[in-house]
Structure 1
Amino acid sequence: MDEKSMNPIKRPITTSSSDNNTNQMKALLTKDGTIKIILPSTLTGNLQRNFFSKDVTDAVSSRIQNEKPFIKGYVSNENFGSSDDQYSEYKITPRQIFCASICQISFCSLHPLNDSHKLICNSYALFKRIVLHEKSYGKINIALPQKVLKKIPILTDNVQDIMQLLYKNVTAFEDECINAALMQIVTAPLTTFYSIQKVGIEFSERLIIHFVGAELKFEADRLEKWESLFLHLAHGVTDLQIMFIGSELNFENLPVEIISRTRVCKICRQNCCGIRFDFQCKKFYHDYCESSAFVKPDFVCFFNPALHRSGFCGFDTWPMTIEAALKTGSPLLVTSTTENECYLDLDRIKKVTNNDVEILIPPLKNPYASTRPERNFASDDEDPIMFKNNYLFAIAKTHDLIDL
């Protein structure tokens, strides 16, 4: 329970008893989640029940009818009576109110359902379905497409266009759980491909992409997806180099089976097309840029970095990383899990660079975002549900100041 919810409920009211004396009540939400009601003992019987039904909600009033005061005494509070007024104190556990839909989120009777829940109700329901499915049957396995395109497709703002081009049968993805598992896999390569086209980078024979702050369970969870959903689309690219760089990236935790699946398909081998992965583990990006292992990128990606928050282990290293990435002279793609974070990250970059950036793609909803809902524990008061790569923007250092 947050600090705000433990504060007294600011709802003093007055009611007149039979002798025309004015009395007041006070309601407190305690740390253990119960409601503490303090009211004048002169308000008894039906008058007490009417008093509660008007102010505390029907759920609470129905409970008070069978409750007995557990403390009687004197309460001194300048806003709620004088020291010589006798008060009774009641302790009530609020009844939970459940959302009528399948999401089954419960609410305290003092904080009932509101319109904001309707916006995320379906996402909560899907989150529940996925958790229950994976608990019973394990992780949902998605077969990646094997089709090699003979020309570069133009990715539209409709993800179904490319899905229909790559898969023979897309009806299986109509199930929300299956679709969420699919989009969690494809969002990284397709978001990268979509953004490269949108900023106007040409697909040359050699293409080098840096992923800053990469996660093994997201960008590198299935390395073969970079062949199926990027190399097979990028006709003409024969040497695709993908660099994963991150201070929390640990190569020791990389399963052997992931490394063994990096061999390209027969068609790619016939066309002399290849893909190389490089893992720069336990290393900050700005340190990597100064090392002998540095290879100049054509495109730099920050997937869900939350730049507006502090960096690694409480040390704010983002300013150095942002400056190093811009110094490469390559466009930067930044994605975020929520719309609010998207704008906060852009503001952070502007502050770090003194607004010395050119916006290539303004903040927008990513058509290739993951549709798998995840709980947001960092800012659940604003966005209880989040999605990987939900929003994006792209920038570059102002052209006339780029170090060549």
Structure 2
Amino acid sequence: MSITTSTTEQLADEFDSPARLLTAEGVRVRHEILDEHVADLDLQQLADLYTDMVLVRRFDTEAFSLTRQGELALWPPLLGQEAAQVGSARALEDRDWSFGSYREHALPILRGVDIDRWLKVWKTTSNTAWDPHEHNIGLNQIIIGAQTLHAVGYAMGAQFKQDDSCSIAYFGDGATTEGDVSEAMVFASTYNAPVVFFCQNNGYAISEPTSVQAKHVLARRASGFDIPAYRVDGNDILAVLAATRLAMHRARTGHGPSFIEAVTYRMGPHTTTDDPSRYRENDEVESWKERDPLLRVERFLESEGFNVEQLRADAKTNADALAKQLRAGAIAIQPDPAEQMFDNVYSSPHARIERQRAEYKAFAASYEKAAS
């Protein structure tokens, strides 16, 4: 796979309309740059990607339901963004690290994170969900944009050690106006760090539309940091896979950082505490339903003579099993000892943390004394 300045600049200039390989109608279209990065993909492999999206969607909708039933405290749904997350995740190699915010549910699922441990955070019984080093996934980040700095820091460290692993940072359109993201791109560009900035532009930063975040397409912001940017249809899993493969290859071969803007749509609320009907029209939501990332893959596979009915049935069976496991795990979760919040804050004992631990224990003891 060869990467040249001319090809990356050519793709970076395509900002007026997001690049795509699969239309909403399920028609395969050609793209001079992206095609070569999915040339190895056959129909069965595309069907496997479809199954991944079905699993992720069912996991997400089940978790949403559990929140409504009081089993989880909060949930930020990803409905509509399955192609952006699955397509980019499947472009990574096992040794690569991903750093997400709070909506990137696909990465932990596809990398085998233990569901029971993961849900503890969303049931507010634990501070952490998994050991990052077991799966090469940073923990959920609530501070908007902070994970971009983590991703760049990891990439710079890997570069220093002459390790050919790369990192990818996931964030939303709203995060692009945070200082952390700009600072991360400064360091990535200056040190030519092997990192990919993956922006899921889902139309809204909580209740504010993207038009409030920027007058121009978000991908253009990267040019100010001398970082090539690609704007793709985020509901087209082939385009997302191809663009992420291209960007990861650039990073791995010493060409430095890239920025991908995946134009997608958040079909549901920002979180389960949000009411999107207060800031967007139903007609807008309905128009995006026809651009559904799963539907377009079904349409394409059907046009190619693939047994889509059987694919749907098999995917549903797997998704039902995952949902059953999710529900059982969520219900069974018991709170961790509250004192654990002081563990692992620093890698070695720290006087300030130990003082806080002692204060907490005294506070808890006072309640026990009053109860007796």
TM-score (norm 2): 0.29
Higher helix proportion (structure 1 or 2): 2
Higher strand proportion (structure 1 or 2): 1
TM-score (norm 1): 0.27
Which of these two proteins has the greater Rg computed from alpha carbons? 1
Which structure would you say has the larger RCO, counting Cα contacts within 8 Å and 6 or more residues apart? 2
